[in-house]
Copies of this chain bind each other. A is one copy, B any other.
Amino acid sequence: MVETFEEISPADFFYRNRELAGFTSPTRAIFSSVRELVENALDASDLHGVPSEVYIRLSEEDSGVGEGEVYVLRVEDNGSGVPARHIPSAFGQVLFGSKYKLKQARGTFGLGGTMAILYGQITTHKPVYVASSTGTSRTYEYKLMIDIQRNRPIVLDRKSHVNKTRWRGTVVEFSLEGDYLRAMPKILEYLKQTAVVTPYANITFVDPKGRLYRFSRVTTEMPPPPEETFPHPYGVDVETIQRFAKIADCKNMLDFMRKHFHRVSEKIAHEFLEYAGISEKKNPGKLRPQEVVRLVRKMKEFENFLPPRARCLSPLGEELLKAGILKELKPDFIAVSQRKPSAYSGHPFIVETAIAYGGGIPKEGDVLVYRFANRIPLLYDEASDVAVKVIKSMNWRTYKVSSEMPIAILVHLCSTKVPYKTVGKEFIADRPEVKKEILNGVREVARRLRRFLTRREHVERERRRLSVFSKYLPKIAEFSTGLAGEEEAPNIEALLRSVRKFEEGD
């Protein structure tokens, strides 16, 4: 039997295995398409530092071949725009993009947008329309298809117009097969949760029935744009060192350490090189393989590197978290917490947690868990997610929580690199460092919930005691008054007040 060997392009790989990227079924495909384009739109406006305006429209298309659910998806944003020369590759090629940096962004794989377009192409055989401008004097329009086998864009049409209004942003429109009716609840949930954690965004969605959903911004204050970082020495491998050594303009190791790694000052570089037994004057381009290996080893061992700085991260903040949850769930009690920055494999991250109780939270079923990563809601494959695993592993009786209580828990992880387990960004791998921070964060808010529940128990007990007093005391007073032959019963109000430990409404 003869084996045939072949090379396939990355576009072909993800075409053949599109379920890896979240394009499993017509339902998931339409959800994933909306999601990927919305995330790109929000990243683009974050980058440009303007409050986001995202317009999404899904309309039914007369497919011309009888029954079948074909939709046109259009997404417009007011973000940074894509330079004309990059438009074909950015939308017609996988593994091409601006997301291959160490910075906090919704997109991480440089894959999702093109996958959505690719899915549209293989189900409808139609080109994608892209219009964009970076706010210069011209706007550009493209009609593209993807050569999947070669992973290259095919430009069918290209136009350029004068941009009088200096419009900036991107419009993407393409046709795809999908099952909107089934995807609808997830799409709406996705947009709702996105709006909660993106309070500076106006998100408008027009669905195939013409229904308009509008999520309006509550602030125009933008988070600082994501900052790019160098790799931290703890997270470096042999390949990283070699790449830097190749492109480095540094003549010696001291400069090399200072210029290419996160949080390495001259002083620390000096200390480290001495510790590693590598000469400061050595030319980084001339490191021998075994020296590179030793350098990496020593970087992992050296204890005096400063921890990754979280300045490049943009967590939600406790106020915003609280506001978002209050708006959505209207609970009786809420506690939020933002953990101190931590790091895994040299990537800084921050965990934020919240717990809410009662009010609008449904009583039936399991604890509600809301999961977010870099400000995007994660709605699928919950069972494998590290946050869900952590929450399940906790002994909730310690916190006076029982299974039938109306509880919601929110976990947000932001990082320059979220450790997703799937290309479809459904759930987060359980890195021990991340797990620990989530556990501590959830514990912290759970303890506050316990205090609230304990206090409420006291209040309840007190109320019952008072109600007994206030029921019998007047009768006793009346009886004793009669017995004593007095005319007027003593004032028992003062007495009742004195046994009241908690004020009403406390």
User: A-side interface residues toward B, CB under 8 Å?
Assistant: 1, 3-10, 12-13, 15-17, 19-20, 24-25, 47-49, 63-66, 68, 80, 82-83, 86, 89-90, 93, 95-98, 100-101, 109-110, 121-126, 148-149, 225, 237-239, 243, 289-290, 292-294, 297-298, 381, 383-384, 389, 419-424, 426-427, 429, 431
* Residues in chain B near residue A66, CB distance under 8 A: 297
Chain B: minimal CB distance from A113 (Å): 13
Picked from B17, B65, B243, the residue with its CB within 8 Å of the CB of A290 is B65
CB pairs A–B below 8 angstroms (17 shown):
A1-B48, A1-B80, A5-B90, A6-B96, A7-B95, A20-B422, A20-B423, A63-B293, A65-B290, A65-B293, A68-B297, A125-B292, A125-B293, A126-B289, A381-B384, A421-B422, A422-B422
A239 and B122 form a contact (CB under 8 A): yes
B7–A93 contact, CB under 8 A?
yes
> Could you tell me the distance between the alpha carbons of A101 and B16 in the complex, rounded to whole angstroms?
11
Min C-beta distance of A285 to chain B, whole Å:
15
What residues on B are CB-neighbors of A426 within 8 Å? Answer: 421
Q: Are B47 and A1 in contact (CB under 8 A)?
A: yes
The complex is assembled from copies of this chain, and their number is: 2
A6 to B25, CA, bound (A): 30
Which B residues lie within 8 Å of A243 (CB)?
Answer: 149
Q: B20 near A421 (CB under 8 angstroms)?
A: yes
Q: How far is the CA of A283 from the CA of B366 in the complex (A)?
A: 58
A5 contacts across to B, CB distance below 8 A: 83, 86, 89-90, 96-98
Are A24 and B429 in contact (CB-based, < 8 A)? yes
CB distance from A438 to the nearest CB of B (A): 16
A225 nearest CB neighbor, chain B only:
B1
Which of chain B's residues have a CB closer than 8 A to the CB of A421? 19-20, 381, 422, 424, 426
Contact of A383 among B80, B96, B239, B384 (CB under 8 A): B384
**Which residues of B sit under 8 angstroms from A13, Cβ to Cβ?**
10, 95, 109
* Nearest-CB residue, chain B, relative to A16: B100
CB proximity of A122 to chain B, nearest CB, Å? 4
Q: Identify 7 new A-B residue pairs, CB closer than 8 A, beyond the known A5-B83, A20-B421, A125-B289.
A: A1-B225, A6-B96, A9-B10, A13-B95, A125-B290, A125-B292, A381-B421
**In the complex, chain B residues whose CB is within 8 Å of the CB of A126:** 289
Q: How far is the CB of A287 from chain B (nearest CB, A)?
A: 10
